[in-house]
A and B are shown apart, each in its own frame.
Chain A
């Protein structure tokens, strides 16, 4: 668990604090997305958690320990760190890059080697092919997989990710987001992620913290932020299509009605309600049959159900 208490960063000569008495608590094993317009203090907040930036005031607790008094070097070895520019060391192989923190911690070579194999498999890179590869031979997506493996190497309870998909081309980004979400679910870490992309925040975050001028404007589940914006700023930030964005958070399976409607077009189980709505508009039909991975129809979803305003999930 991470708790920030009245955390503040004031740069010399700045008219107002970059982060202004921010209180926020991030539950263990959840992903929190920090989002807001540029200059809102989201990256500063993130970088204060591992003391890459020293707070001017306030306290930070990780699992109950006040880390503002710890040796920053020791602290950082217990916090995974992933940055937008990825920052793989170009003179080191993939395996050496991943082994960075275990080596700093003095693990024996055999344990490091085993851990590297395990992590490469976890992030979906064949160890035999990638272990000895040099970073410049990899694609952007492969590099960030290695970046995440490197951050996870010493099994830190907390991971900080600063725009982790920022350097990935848009076509590969969505796929990587899906995969990372699955990886992060499996490793169950407390994750804090900075992003400027609302859709990314909604997709990756269990909770979304919206910041403006160094202050927390709203903190809640993606659905809460979209359905109950705290003020006009949040409403404008999430955009006029927030009702559609909410449909992106929901699966067709939530609206499943029993039985197959003969002649209606199909949609895969697990698809979002937004996709279903698009399919309906596209096909000019009233109903979609929902099919499982084997192509069997498991029920149907109708237009009425899709258009009904859903209850807010917290």
Chain B
């Protein structure tokens, strides 16, 4: 109990540091998610016509994912130095597989008869994608985004190892100087953040697609 109150006391006393680290944490996560989307969604569309290319690209991205995040950070360090950039790169590697895989599967599962009908009615390839394939794949795509966002927010803690700066700084410092209050002041907000993203986006998902999922049943 004393530990908890102590932790909160520490957080209150160092609220400026806390706010700064939280901001860094969120900015880094936003960049990582944005870049992952910018790569993952066009890539899913690009590999859609060829099952073979798709298999290859997905296998490649999945191999990247099997590396522990810490190892990726270690690789990024000599290549990209320290700071925000290598941390974001490592997080993108983490977030790309769920985004790419969900988007690809979602797009591929769209009934080919609908694509045939849309094409036969005179839609261009781009119109078929915008008006039929993407709207129908949206729930799957969103699921991938939610998954990726949770992993990014949790994974961003590791960025402190290469000077990326995040709430993880409190954890590494707390371990280094055996300051449990400081450690918890980092760990608790990160855990809460991950939960908030998971449930927040889950709520948005149900609001956006809930009725459609029920209707389809």
Bound pair: A and B? yes
| CB within 8 Å of B: which A52-82 residues | 52, 73-78, 81
Chain A residues in 8 Å Cβ range of B124: 73
Q: Is residue B20 contacting chain A, with contact meaning CB distance below 8 A? A: no
Interface band, chain B:
20 to 34
Determine the distance from Cα of A100 to Cα of B116 in the docked complex, in whole angstroms: 14
Tell me what chain B mostly uses at the interface: helix, strand, loop, or mixed. helix
B121 touches A81 (CB 8 A): yes
Number of chain A residues close to chain B: CB under 8 A: 25
With contact pairs A87-B113, A91-B136 given, residues A76 and B120 touching in the complex (Cβ less than 8 Å):
yes
Q: Is residue A83 contacting chain B, with contact meaning CB distance below 8 A? A: yes
| CB within 8 Å of A: which B86-137 residues | 111, 113-114, 116-124, 127, 131-132, 135-136
Chain A residues in 8 Å Cβ range of B212: 91
B122 touches A73 (CB 8 A): yes
A52 touches B120 (CB 8 A): yes
Chain B residues in 8 Å Cβ range of A91: 135-136, 212
Q: Is residue B176 contacting chain A, with contact meaning CB distance below 8 A? A: no
With contact pairs A104-B123, A136-B215 given, residues A89 and B116 touching in the complex (Cβ less than 8 Å):
no
B121 touches A83 (CB 8 A): no
Chain A residues in 8 Å Cβ range of B113: 83, 85-87
Q: Is residue A123 contacting chain B, with contact meaning CB distance below 8 A? A: no
B136 touches A150 (CB 8 A): no
Determine the distance from Cα of A91 to Cα of B120 in the docked complex, in whole angstroms: 18
Determine the distance from Cα of A73 to Cα of B135 in the docked complex, in whole angstroms: 21
Chain A residues in 8 Å Cβ range of B1: none
B122 touches A89 (CB 8 A): no
Minimal beta-carbon separation of B187 from chain A (angstroms): 42
B121 touches A150 (CB 8 A): yes
Chain B residues in 8 Å Cβ range of A88: 117
Chain A residues in 8 Å Cβ range of B120: 50, 52, 76, 81, 83, 160
Chain A residue at minimum C-beta to C-beta distance from B131: A89
Minimal beta-carbon separation of A168 from chain B (angstroms): 15
Q: Is residue B216 contacting chain A, with contact meaning CB distance below 8 A? A: yes
With contact pairs A85-B113, A104-B127 given, residues A136 and B121 touching in the complex (Cβ less than 8 Å):
no
With contact pairs A83-B113, A104-B127 given, residues A89 and B215 touching in the complex (Cβ less than 8 Å):
no
With contact pairs A74-B122, A104-B127, A136-B216 given, residues A83 and B136 touching in the complex (Cβ less than 8 Å):
no
Chain A residues in 8 Å Cβ range of B121: 76-77, 81, 100-101, 104, 150-151
Chain B residue at minimum C-beta to C-beta distance from A96: B131
Q: Mark A8-43, 1 if CB is under 8 A from B, else 0.
A: 000000000000000000000000000000000000
Chain B residues in 8 Å Cβ range of A75: 122
| CB within 8 Å of B: which A196-245 residues | none
B136 touches A90 (CB 8 A): yes
Determine the distance from Cα of A87 to Cα of B215 in the docked complex, in whole angstroms: 17
15 contacts between A and B (CB under 8 A): A52-B119, A75-B122, A76-B120, A78-B122, A81-B121, A83-B113, A85-B111, A86-B113, A89-B114, A89-B118, A89-B131, A90-B136, A100-B121, A104-B123, A136-B215
B: which residues have CB within 8 A of A?
Answer: 111, 113-114, 116-124, 127, 131-132, 135-136, 212, 215-216
In the A-B complex, list the 10 residue pairs whose CB atoms are closest, starting with the nearest.
A87-B117, A77-B122, A76-B122, A81-B120, A85-B113, A87-B113, A91-B135, A87-B114, A100-B121, A73-B124
Given A52-B120, A85-B117, A89-B132; 7 other pairs, CB 8 A cutoff:
A73-B124, A74-B122, A75-B122, A89-B118, A101-B122, A136-B215, A150-B121
